[in-house]
A and B are shown apart, each in its own frame.
Chain A
Amino acid sequence: MHIVDRRLNPGGKSLVNRQRFLRRARAYVQQAVRDSLKDRSIKDLDKEGQISIQRDVIHEPTLHRAAQGGSRERVFPGNRDYMEGDKIKRPDGGAGSGSKAGQGDGNDDFQFALSREEFLDLFLDDLELPDLAKRRLIGGAVDGIRRAGYSTAGNPSNLSVPRTMQKAMSRRLALRRPKGADLARIEEEIALIEARDPPLPDDAVRLEALREERSTIIRRRNLIAYIDPVDLRYRRFETVPKPVAQAVMFCLMDVSGSMTEHMKDLAKRFFALLHLFLSRCYEHVEVVFIHHTDRAAEVDEQTFFYSTVTGGTLVSSALEKLIEVVQERFRPDDWNIYVAQASDGDTMQSDNGRVVSLMQQEILPFSQYFAYLEVGREEFADIEMVGTTTGLWQAYAPVSDANRNFVMRKVHHRREIYPVFRELFQRKGVAERSS
């Protein structure tokens, strides 16, 4: 009997099969992933999750007898009070007395769990941040190390043994260093002749020649080293600065009294998606959260998503704050700046002029992209709201027409969030991108 410990064997044998399975059901899995997100809470947005897809996509058919029809007989355990000849009504499952219950592959959905990575991959597939154009190289801190051939000097730990031996061998060949085998052969012959009794006539001469040859060989072997310091080769590494595109994302949200919980929820969902997307796709993305009532404040993520504040509405305050932060910390020359704003569109008429001018004069010139998301009441979700645009929408409309990097969308219901999000960040066609 042998005991073998297999626990340390590489696991994940099923990984390939799992990926093949996901590939096969990809379209359906993707749909399911997107559907499942509609009802997730913000916190759980990027957790691994269970999804279900229709069975028939991945059905494996076999030839088997139908569950219905025909005559059948079957034995069951646990009789209580049946007597022979009793009649029993058919159970609701129809004929077959539930006999195929064990096979249960009916048409119910096929459920399984996706890991967080798989989930996000499918979920954020084919989205990208629009136009990440200004690339800045920042050296130093983000150096990478890469192999750069061999050198004759270096740290002993970097000694390349194969390369050194190769060099030594070619040098020995070039200088014709006698081999150990040659020496051994001559030693052997000398021993043979010396041992011969009686010696042959020309043995003395032969012996003399051999001895001379031997001393030459030994001398040459001593002179030409097996490994010489000139043979040593070290692996060389060099550091390379890696180009890093850095971006900052501003999230602006109105948290004033006119924003209902529903609206805030919509906005938060949008930002949560955005946050998820950005932090996943870009390593160097900073996110700045600003919420405002009639005053604006830069807050941390937790406060932004989960705190409540009351007050009036002054959109310009948030924009000013945004400009302030940009001037302070994010030089537009070095950073790609993205802004997303969410509001119910409520604004003070008197403030609109300032908002538009701030937008036109200051913000849009330094922004790569500005997305305005207007959240509305759930009740209006299905009603086409003709002519009832909000103050902010009216103010922004001309801005949007004039600037390609400003987009605005309305959202009333949770289910619209994801489509709008996709619309904004859909990967553009190649032609469009290159223009």
Chain B
Amino acid sequence: MKLRLAIPVATAALALAALAFVVPAMAADTPDPVADAKAFQKYFTDKFPKLKPQDFVNGPYSMNEDLHKQWEEKEEFPPYEFALEAGKEMFATPFKNGKSYGDCFPDKGIGIRQNYPYFDEKEGKVVTLELALNRCREANGETPLSYVRDEMASLTAYMAFTSRGKPMNITIPNDPRALAAYENGKRYFYTRRGQLNFSCASCHVQSPGERIRAEILAPALGILNAMPIYRSEWSGMGTTSRRFVTCNSQTRAVPLEPQSDEYRDLEYYLSYVSNGLPISGPGARP
């Protein structure tokens, strides 16, 4: 008899306990980007107490002394110089209709890299710099550039170069769709996928500074501030799109189309949590 009574009492207690858990869990589920970014940055500064926040934008070079020495030498004669020059030329060259890239952007496109990607309230979606550049081309009757090739990287290299040192400044407008895009990007970042079952975070949050084969993993904090990058491994320039696509295929997942909604949201999330860190692009990576 006593036992029979005990069971419902225990169940009720369990139910109560479950309820007590549900309430704070729900509160924590409400997206709070400001707290997210703070916690995200704190995680990295705690993990690497010797580094200053602005060191993170130099990726693996801040994590390994030997690499740092190589990099200092490399920066005297940076391998992205040719792309930078090509980008400057492309940026200044007018389209067939006489307009140029500068006409599509605020401040003629100079020193604005830190504001991208932004949430476009008219479209209800995230607009990245690469996307904006191709839209600019199409609006002026030109064919869009490939998102993963050198021409696009040259353009963004030039735009990043004119914005060097400016703190990343991504805003989330008071629009539920903007918050949803941010959340979606965050979800993509932390979701495991592919044959190797890696999420973006497995490498770039859990293991920055560690080796993956011969390479040193870069921290997620500030990783986009250095885009686009010259990768010695690629013998060429890489855009943010190219970086995302290759990351996915390296974990043996199926990459998405460059500038698909999810990649745009991912870029939005990843840039937002690096707010305040300086733009250092174009970068050079091993």
Partners in one complex: no
